[in-house]
Amino acid sequence: MLNLTALTEPGFCPHGLNKYASVMACGNGYIGIRAAHEESYTQQTRGMYLAGLYHRAGRSETNELVNLPDVTGIDIELDGVNFTLLAGEIGHWQRELHFANGELRRSVLWRSPEGRQYRIESRRFASLDRLPLVAMQLSITPVDATAQIVLKTGIDATQTNSGRQHLDEVSVRVFDAHYLQGIYETQDRSAEVVISASCRLSTSDGDCCFSAKNRRITAHHALTVAQGDTVTLEKLVWVTHRTDRALSQETFARNALTELKVCAARGYAALLQSSSCAWENIWRDGRVVVTSPEPQDQLALDYAVWHLTAMTPAHDERSSIAAKGLTGEGYKGHVFWDTEIFLLPFHLFTRPQVARNLLRYRWLNLSGAREKARRNGWPGALFPWESAASGQEETPEFAAINIRTGLRQKVASALAEHHIVADIAWAVVAYWQATHDDDFMRNEGLTLLVETATFWIGRATEVNGRLEIHDVIGPDEYTEHVNNNAYTNYMAWHNVASACRFMAKFARKDAGFTEKAAHFLAHLWLPEPDAQGVLAQDDSFMAKPAIDLTRYKARAGKQTILLDYSRAEVNEMQILKQADVVMLNYLLPERFAPQQCAASLAFYEPRTIHDSSLSKAIHGIVSARCGDTEKAYAFWRDGIAIDLGDDPHSSDDGIHAAATGAIWSGVIQGFAGLQIVEGELHLAPKLPTHWKTLAFPLRWRNARMHFTVENEALTVETSVPVTFTLWGKTVTTTGRQVWSYEDFLTSVNGTATTEGGDNV
Amino acid sequence: MLNLTALTEPGFCPHGLNKYASVMACGNGYIGIRAAHEESYTQQTRGMYLAGLYHRAGRSETNELVNLPDVTGIDIELDGVNFTLLAGEIGHWQRELHFANGELRRSVLWRSPEGRQYRIESRRFASLDRLPLVAMQLSITPVDATAQIVLKTGIDATQTNSGRQHLDEVSVRVFDAHYLQGIYETQDRSAEVVISASCRLSTSDGDCCFSAKNRRITAHHALTVAQGDTVTLEKLVWVTHRTDRALSQETFARNALTELKVCAARGYAALLQSSSCAWENIWRDGRVVVTSPEPQDQLALDYAVWHLTAMTPAHDERSSIAAKGLTGEGYKGHVFWDTEIFLLPFHLFTRPQVARNLLRYRWLNLSGAREKARRNGWPGALFPWESAASGQEETPEFAAINIRTGLRQKVASALAEHHIVADIAWAVVAYWQATHDDDFMRNEGLTLLVETATFWIGRATEVNGRLEIHDVIGPDEYTEHVNNNAYTNYMAWHNVASACRFMAKFARKDAGFTEKAAHFLAHLWLPEPDAQGVLAQDDSFMAKPAIDLTRYKARAGKQTILLDYSRAEVNEMQILKQADVVMLNYLLPERFAPQQCAASLAFYEPRTIHDSSLSKAIHGIVSARCGDTEKAYAFWRDGIAIDLGDDPHSSDDGIHAAATGAIWSGVIQGFAGLQIVEGELHLAPKLPTHWKTLAFPLRWRNARMHFTVENEALTVETSVPVTFTLWGKTVTTTGRQVWSYEDFLTSVNGTATTEGGDNV
């Protein structure tokens, strides 16, 4: 097993149950399982989710990621007492999620209220090489005396999403006195879920019986365990689903059982071993290593890469990444622009095939986006602000009810946060730049670019001879319904320009489009930086008053501003949730001079509360690019704290998926200075002063590269020669090369060593 | 307040949470609320139900009593620690359901795991004079030091029936910073539920805010309470529902809020006082008082009368009594023959209007019963074995899956347990006999009698010139699909005969019916007692082998026989769940000589496991009538133990409604010897030897009577003169009279004192 960090839960605390259930969730991109304890707690939310399995539970509800029947719960009765850490005493506690192999382990020495001690150990993982497999072990050792132990576990379909029922029970079965199987259907009959489980004890002593009642099928084990002996319950679960009905239900269910039996024959240890091998490949392709006196720096990077893998349905281009991954029900499991802007870069530079899948998801959902544009009177494709299994808009029509007035506010995002269209186009371009995957670009890519460009061309309004884009919301959701949002206009221009460029490159002819696009590009109003280099966020922003935001920034992420001001009032002040112009600087670095980036950063940061978890990470990257590495590091650390900080409730309803992407991006695009500029790779590593080394793998087109930054020098290893720009100079590297920053400074001062670096 | 018993929970025990939540449930016939604690426990099932509010949550489900959004839960945080009795120490504990006024109270002195003590007291009742009102108080006193207290409570619609969702959230509101309101609709849109709640603290200090998320609307109170001070949270809840849409939703909801505000202005104490007055009337009309050295005897009688009132929708003839009352989800809240046979007698003899309502429920549902008969090819009305809000058959089509074979067994009850038709007819006759309510009999009663009689006439099969009833299941469900079940045949005969008698009485002409009925009565095969007086349960019963049932009888009610034998095997032996012939003797006493009753009891009891909770009570009454009062008392005590015995899980999913009826019947129809024979009232009191007195009120036609049995004498008080049969002699009583048993013995021995008894 690789020597990686592990995420540790320092002790049992009822308040932190759901945070740790999220951050320690197991997953493999196909299935996600919250790290709920085997024993139940009233405040503990169990959750198991399948990527792409959404359903709508009632007329006024929206599609949401279905919380599946639970398999993790085990009622543990020790000498007649229900095991719960709320009672008795905890003599020893250890709980860790091991990133190397994705295994969640807990070891507890518990003294019951009646004074008897038991050692209780459990392990669990979701297999990375057998995606439908979840494996668990529970071991119990009575320390003081022979114990009577009763274990009850099975498949519990009383699970709901906060009371919303998605599945009907079709049947429950027991086979061969070891295997349980439940067959479920979504209430709309569109999908079928088969959960098969085997439960085996390490001893053949003891009674076993089964019950099936009230949506629960349960194996009951009752046994006597001698003092010092250990009994282990091994539970293997195979979770499959389908929307097609190619096979009969019976065959589909029988096949699942067969697969489970194959696993059962191998056993937990062997299954973990082969899953670990799959994880080794992930780490080889994606692990970022830093040498830092702050242990949390490496932990955060491992945490990020682990969850970026666990949340991403690499196996299935019909689904994408939910805002909370597969770790909770926040945002109902919907897919946002987070995927393209915050999550895709990691995949693009480590497993580009996954980035391709994520873009294919959008391509497969084009019809919904076209339909949304059409219904709103525009041409082309207007991608939904929130999406699920189809391209339909899934944003709830109404936000939470204002409980004082009783009125429901329309959610504005779906109506006006149109930048997602350009964000997807941006990701298509980035994907091609990093891969030169002409096959994709010629087909899906170009279609996406042209459809999105067509939307913008139709979306613009002519005002006195120039084209403007009115009534939009930029990424900064504290400023709604503005005209000529800088982020939106620049990104739309980039979208249309990219469509034209790739049409030309692939000799695609469409005179009508080309003409309209040329007119758009020539006439779209692109706000210009002022004398100081500051770009106005939108037409009205600069005229609004600013207020001191210190106390709100001190509680960033909590939206405390809304306790003092209404949304309408916030809208009329220079108050940002996140800074659009900084985000724009990040995405289109070649459009703005460094001085302009720095000026906008300096202007907007004091006006930004960072109430979006997406905010600080981007500020960090732009700060790093502006040369302020220490400020960048401070932003990056704040980004880590979103999930890994002290707030016991920060992640109750799931991890912040985009924030994990930002942890990776903050280092690679921030401290390593990776950018794509004019389609080419740029690096300019500059580490925080207390970091000794930074090492990471990178995929760039057909090359597998590895970078190590240490002592102001960069060691590059590459599988094929790559030309890229390092510290502002174009270099070509092959094999293993070391480049010294000092040499580059020298060259900037006149010494021409463009192909510098020592061949070693 | 009346001096009644109270039901006590002796201590906090996690295993007994659901039993006590059932037996201590509050209710008023309109609403039932399980006695769940304010704080949550993983094994505690909360439940709040409205009589008659059923819904089907999914294709393969059946209609079930909807578990409403919860209002009883309160998150109690004391100095940062969540209050739970699983942790810390319980210094003092008292928990009681006071039958006099229906108030549930708990008082706990709790030492938190951090060593601080708090006194926590709570009270709750469902108002008997304002049916939609549920009132609660929670008081907290920090004992050792000033405490920071956080209380969160509201309306929690994440409640389900074991994961089955019935309600969609339509809206949630807060009014005047005190009142919460949630509007819900069943998913099929047939019913609307409005829950309004007011939350007020006894102090105006402290912060209060509200949240509405994920089907929960919650008031959050945070406050500081000085050492020794007590803070009280008063929560009043108004629960209304409707199926009509006469008013707009807005008006309907506003009216509910207005009602709640009226209650809030009165306050908990005044509301409890006026509810107590309503209870006083109940006790005046129905309380049975015994003097017994066994305190449980009186407790059981108060328990029974209390729940018989709390479970019965006296306000609404469109609903009837669920098998678990309004205390849990067992049998999905369906209505069985239990209502007419086990529950109606209590109402008939205490509040006959309620008995009328219960029969009107059947009358209102006649169309469903006719439809069921028609679909099965029979004329008349075939009442469903299980019913809910309509007359449709609600019995699940399939029983629990056999988890070994995977096959589902068809539920036979709905197909063949037709005796319910005659049971309803029996109750119609009994109602008229006890009330002489000609108005009812002329209309609803006679319709019910003729429709049910018509069913039997069509149901019979002619075999060699005699009519037989084939392929039925009697009350004894261990014997399925038999011919000429004695219970069914006799009851069917009684049904048809009664129809004829009342047609004649009310000069109703229907020559066709009368002719068919006469043929049926003349030709229906009525099995005859053998030489010993034993009546065969059915055609095949006497030929089946008997086995020793001792070990199964020792665990009566647990159906342990089915662990050793399949249902098919049980069917082929003389093994009874309950004894049909004993039940028949009980219902139609005039049909059988005392010696025949005794012979059948002696024959069948050893063959009866009493696996039905309905079994022992009837054996007890028949034993009493046969003169074996001590055996009757033993049976009666076993019947008490069904809900009030030591088994911590006996009543997890609700009380045994029929068993409460049987507690009353066991005393009044057993020890007081009440029977209706040939339409007239008979009494023959004979108390268990250790009972000193028995006193009870009784309604008989237009008389309000009161009986006291003491020292082998009976004191009768009556509002108008009543003629009845006492100890076998017809007497007429008026005012207050005392009758001595000895005198009757004497008279039997020749002294003619038929109008005996001392006028005092």
pLDDT for position B207: 84
Residue type, B494: H
CB–CB contact B163 A165 (8 Å): yes
Q: How many A×B Cβ pairs under 8 Å?
A: 111
pLDDT for position A748: 47
> How much is the average pLDDT of B28-45?
97
- In this prediction the pTM is 0.93
- Whether the pLDDT of residue A115 is over 50: the answer is yes
- Whether the pLDDT of residue A745 is over 90: the answer is no
Q: Order of strands across the sheet with A48-50?
A: A26-27, A31-33, A48-50
Interface test with B, best of A18, A42, A61, A170 (most B CBs within 10 A): A42
Looking only at the bridges linking them, the beta strands covering B713-726 and B680-683 are: parallel
CA distances (Å), origin B44, targets A159, B19, B110: 15, 10, 20
- Exposed / middle / buried, residue A746 (Cβ in 10 Å: 0-12, 13-18, 19+): middle
Q: On the CB side of A666, how many CA atoms lie within 13 Å of its CA?
A: 34
pLDDT for position B60: 81
- Whether the pLDDT of residue A191 is over 50: the answer is yes
> How much is the average pLDDT of A39-64?
95
Given A57, A86, A401, which is nearest B165 (Cβ)? A57
CA distances (Å), origin A474, targets A409, A414, A454, A538, B608: 19, 12, 19, 9, 77
CB count in 10 Å sphere of residue A81: 17
Residues of A in contact with B187 (CB under 8 A): 58-59
CB count in 10 Å sphere of residue B695: 16
Task: Spot the catalytic one: A103, A329, A477, A605.
Answer: A477
pLDDT for position A403: 66
**pLDDT band at residue A209 under the 50/70/90 scheme:** confident
- Exposed / middle / buried, residue A79 (Cβ in 10 Å: 0-12, 13-18, 19+): middle
pLDDT for position A26: 98
Where is pLDDT greater, at A568 or A336? A336
Q: What is the mean pLDDT of chain A?
A: 94
Secondary structure of residue A161 in the 3-state scheme:
strand
pLDDT for position B754: 37
- Whether the pLDDT of residue B759 is over 50: the answer is no
pLDDT for position A398: 77
- Whether the pLDDT of residue A526 is over 70: the answer is yes
DSSP B615-630: HHHHHHHHHHHTT-HH
**pLDDT band at residue A567 under the 50/70/90 scheme:** confident
Q: What is the mean pLDDT of chain B?
A: 94
pLDDT for position B407: 72
CB–CB contact A60 B86 (8 Å): no
A438-465 confidence digits (pLDDT tens): 999 999 999 999 999 999 999 999 999 9
Q: CA A626 from chain center: how many Å?
A: 27
To 5 degrees, how large is the angle CA A322–CA A325–CA A327? 130
> How much is the average pLDDT of A266-290?
97
pLDDT for position A245: 86
Give this complex's ipTM.
0.90
A642-669 confidence digits (pLDDT tens): 999 999 999 999 999 999 999 999 999 9
pLDDT for position A760: 32
Evaluate the CA torsion angle A64, A65, A70, A73 in order and state its sign: negative
Given B157, B163, B171, which is nearest A406 (Cβ)? B171
> How much is the average pLDDT of A164-178?
91
Residues of A in contact with B179 (CB under 8 A): none
Where is pLDDT greater, at A305 or A203? A305
**pLDDT band at residue B1 under the 50/70/90 scheme:** low
pLDDT for position B416: 93
CA distances (Å), origin A563, targets A63, A616, B178: 30, 22, 19
Given A41, A61, A157, which is nearest B163 (Cβ)? A157
> How much is the average pLDDT of A719-730?
96
B642-652 confidence digits (pLDDT tens): 999 999 999 99
pLDDT for position A749: 43
Q: On the CB side of B215, how many CA atoms lie within 13 Å of its CA?
A: 25
The crossing angle, in degrees rounded to 10, of helices A511-523 and A446-459 is: 60
- Whether the pLDDT of residue A639 is over 70: the answer is yes
CB count in 10 Å sphere of residue A511: 7
Interface test with B, best of A41, A70, A86, A179 (most B CBs within 10 A): A86
Residues of B in contact with A216 (CB under 8 A): 162
**pLDDT band at residue A401 under the 50/70/90 scheme:** low
CB–CB contact A160 B158 (8 Å): yes
Looking only at the bridges linking them, the beta strands covering A231-242 and A192-201 are: antiparallel
- Whether the pLDDT of residue A63 is over 70: the answer is yes
pLDDT for position B176: 86
CA dist., res. B442 & res. B436, Å (int): 11
Active-site residues of B: which are they? 477
Residues of B in contact with A173 (CB under 8 A): 401, 403, 406
Place of tokens 């913008």: A456
Distance from CA of B70 to the nearest CA of A (A): 12
**pLDDT band at residue B403 under the 50/70/90 scheme:** low
pLDDT for position B135: 98
B667-695 confidence digits (pLDDT tens): 999 999 999 999 999 999 999 999 999 99
CA dist., res. B670 & res. B677, Å (int): 15
> How much is the average pLDDT of B108-129?
97
Given A40, A173, A404, which is nearest B406 (Cβ)? A173
Residues of B in contact with A404 (CB under 8 A): 174, 177, 210
CB count in 10 Å sphere of residue A238: 29
- Whether the pLDDT of residue B633 is over 90: the answer is yes
Q: Which two tokens stand for residue A724?
A: 């890229």
pLDDT for position A750: 36
- Whether the pLDDT of residue B53 is over 80: the answer is yes
Are the C-beta atoms of residues B700 and B680 closer than 8 Å to each other? Answer: no
